[in-house]
Structure 1
Amino acid sequence: MEKSLDYKGRWRNHTVAFRVSDEEARLLNDLVALSGLTKQDYITRRLLCQDVVVQGNPRVYKALKNQMTAIHEELKRMESISSDNDELLYTLQVIAITLDGLKGEDE
């Protein structure tokens, strides 16, 4: 395997791995898709308490659209939102914040 530098000229030769539940994996994948970052960059920024700044692009737009469609379908299925749906509410909150930030770029 050939060594390569990351976009900031650093060697990334350490592997960090950990286990997550199915629910945590789904939530992590959703948050990564909404950020527009790679999973590695997203996790690194979050672990180092750095801001995750979403740059609007077609991939982020598609992720937002897919998440909103899934949330809409889930809300139609449910009679009311209960405390059992904290993951859905958290994802909806992240989408709202992201959309608000994207709206601010247009102004």
Structure 2
Amino acid sequence: MEKRLDYKGRWRNKTVAFHGSEEEGKLIDRCVSLSGLTKQDYIIRRLQCRDVVVQGSPRVYKALRNQMAEIYGELKRLEKCSGENDELLYAIQLIAQTMNGLKGEN
């Protein structure tokens, strides 16, 4: 087993895993890619109720661009956005917050 140190110099040798649905996995992956963090760091911050602060980078820009293209394609496919599209609406909200944060808006 590979040993790792966290940012405080502690060994990270404990594995934590959980099961989720396909949709939950996609949502977590989307949030992680938009945060610019590793999946491990993102999940740890969220579990500790700490803010996830997005630092602008080419990787975050690419994730935002790809998510917006995916959302645009989905919106073109839909005639109207209904309550059945909660995941799409959540993604739009998350992207808007991230983009506003990158611009320095509240």
Give TM-score, length-normalised by structure 2. 0.94
- The 3 A distance-change label for structure 1 pair 102 and 83 is same
Give the match for residue 37 of structure 1: 37
Structure 1 stretches of 4+ with a deviation exceeding 2 A read 1-4
1:7 Cα offset (Å): 2.9
Separation in structure 2 between the aligned mates of residue 18 and residue 70 of structure 1, nearest angstrom = 27
Question: How many residues end up aligned between the 2 structures?
Answer: 105
Aligned partner of 2:95 in structure 1 is 95
Q: Which residue of 2 aligns with 1:49?
A: 49
- Determine what percentage of the aligned residue pairs are the same residue: 70
Question: Which residue of structure 2 aligns with residue 61 of structure 1?
Answer: 61
Deviation at 1:2, TM superposition (A): 4.6
1:27 maps to: 27
C-alpha offsets along residues 30-84 of structure 1, whole Å, 9 cap, x if unaligned? Answer: 0000000000000000000000000000000000000000000000000000111
Match of 2:77 in 1: 77
SS at match of 2:104: helix
Given that 2:2 and 2:13 are in contact with CA atoms closer than 8 Å, whether structure 1 keeps it comes out as: no
Q: Using the alignment, how far apart are the partners of 1:4 and 1:96 within structure 2?
A: 34
Aligned residue in 1 for 2:104: 104
1:5 maps to 5
Offset of 1:3 from its aligned partner? Answer: 2.6
Please tell me the root mean square deviation across aligned C-alpha atoms, in Å: 1.2
Q: What are the ranges of 5 or more consecutive residues in structure 1 without an aligned counterpart?
A: none
